[in-house]
Structures are given as structure tokens and as C-alpha cells.
Amino acid sequence: MNAPLLPGRIEHWPLARLRPYARNAKTHDADQVAKIAASMAEFGWTVPCLVAADGELIAGHGRILAAAQLGLPEAPVIVLGHLTEAQRRAYRIADNKLTELGGWDEALLLEELRGLMAEDFDLGLIGIPEDELDALLHDAEDRAPIDDDIADTIPDAPAEPITRPGDIWALGDHRLICGDATDPAVVARLMDGAQSSLMFTSPPYAQQRDYGAAKEKVGDCL
């Protein structure tokens, strides 16, 4: 690997010195440029543009359009003079596509959004479209908090249950049978000749129970 992993320095070039790539496949409509400009006005210019030695833009077309909208005279740039023409063309695509491959942990995202709302921060500056933001917050409001007492309540058995004694459910690599775990015939049918590697014997949830006289007898033997 011959390419430098860290940029040598950040320079400041006049906007007039920068040239858009004529065949740039990434589009920037007026709404996106306005949002980029609003973000730059709020947070500052946090990501330099990437340019070739002759001033042709490699990455940062949207930021340059936003800078022009804000009336800024110059832009921070990193010169990628080590890239070939083919590498520059490939990187323009990679720079945009690689960021699209990541996902979101919606629970953590919602927690962050709620924190920003508590601070009266303008959520219009974070780039989430208004309809998506409304849907995310609306769905969260519909999820009522789970009461511990209600969660532990055993519901009444349905008149026509889906699962009946003897049914075996395949859960990926696991098997679950509806039956009496103390009945050797039920266990044998579930295991189907296989041997278990681990067994919990204090249901529910593997919690220890007070076994009374049996426990005292074990204690006397220790």
C-alpha cells in the first residue's frame, strides 16, 4: 500500500480556484444545498473538500455550493496529489456510496433526538427529512412504556391455541416443544437422539429457588 493514510496538511483555497467535476454523478438539489449551508452555519466547516492538484473537485461539491450560497470566499481543502485519474473517478463514487452502507440503531437515535429536543435544539439542522423525523417520533409515542406488573401477568389461555401439546417449533438451530419437561418421553421426542450441552433446572429464567427440606438435606451432606 503506497497511498498515504493521513493528509499532509489542510490548505485554504479561494472558491474560484476550485472546479466542479463535469461528470459528477452525485446530484445536489436546492433543498439539500440549503440544508448543508444551514449545517455549516451552525457547526462550522467541519469536513475539508478533497481536490486534485489542478483544483478539480474530488469530493465536496455540495459543500462548495453551500459555501457560495453563504458568500464564503474560500474553502479548506486537502490535495490528493497521489491519486491517478482512475482513482479520482473511483473515489468520487466510493466517497458517497460507502456512507450509505451504514445503518441506524433506532433506539439510540431516538434517545439522541429526545435529548436534543429537551435542549430545544433545531432538529431541522441534522439532515433527517421532516417526514422521516415525524414518523420516527410518532412511532415512539405510540409505544407505551411496559409496566413491570403487567409484563409479569400470565394471560388467559386462548380458546383455540395455536400451539398444542406435542408441537415442536424450529427456532433456527434450536428446537422448542410444547409439553411437560418432567416427562422423559416428551424430552426424548424433543432431543430426537441428540444430547444437550447445558440444562437449566430452576425455571423460570434460571433463578435459584428455596427447595426447603431438600435444600437442608443437601447442606447436611456437604
Q: Would you list the DSSP string of 59-99? A: E-HHHHHHHHHHT-SEEEEEE-TT--HHHHHHHHHHHHHHH
> Is pLDDT of 148 > 80?
no
How high is the pLDDT of residue 215? 47
Task: Decide: 168 and 191 in contact? Cβ < 8 Å.
Answer: no
Of residues 173 and 62, the one with the higher pLDDT is 62
Task: Write the DSSP symbol of residue 176.
Answer: E
Q: What value does the mean pLDDT of the chain take? A: 85
Rounded to the nearest 10 degrees, how much is the dihedral formed by the CA atoms of 37, 42, 46, 51?
20
> Is pLDDT of 144 > 70?
no
| Nearest C-alpha neighbor of 12 from the set 66, 101, 77 | 77
Of residues 163 and 4, the one with the higher pLDDT is 163
How high is the pLDDT of residue 155? 78
Of residues 182 and 219, the one with the higher pLDDT is 182
H helices within the chain, ranges in order?
A: 30-43, 61-70, 85-100, 106-118, 130-142, 148-151, 184-191, 213-221
Mean pLDDT of 102-116: 91
Angstrom distance (rounded) from CA 196 to CA 198? 6
51: burial class by Cβ within 10 Å (0-12, 13-18, 19+)?
A: buried
pLDDT digits (tens, 9 = 90+) for 13-52: 999 999 999 999 999 999 999 999 999 999 999 999 999 9
Of residues 207 and 55, the one with the higher pLDDT is 55
How high is the pLDDT of residue 210? 58
How high is the pLDDT of residue 219? 43
Question: What structural domains and CATH numbers belong to the chain?
Answer: 11-100 (3.90.1530.10), 106-142 (no CATH), 168-221 (no CATH)
And the C-alpha cell for 174?
Answer: 434450536
> Is pLDDT of 163 > 50?
yes
How high is the pLDDT of residue 141? 63
pLDDT digits (tens, 9 = 90+) for 47-90: 999 999 999 999 999 999 999 999 999 999 999 999 999 999 99
> Is pLDDT of 171 > 90?
no
Grid look-up 418421553 returns 185
Which amino acid is present at 43? F
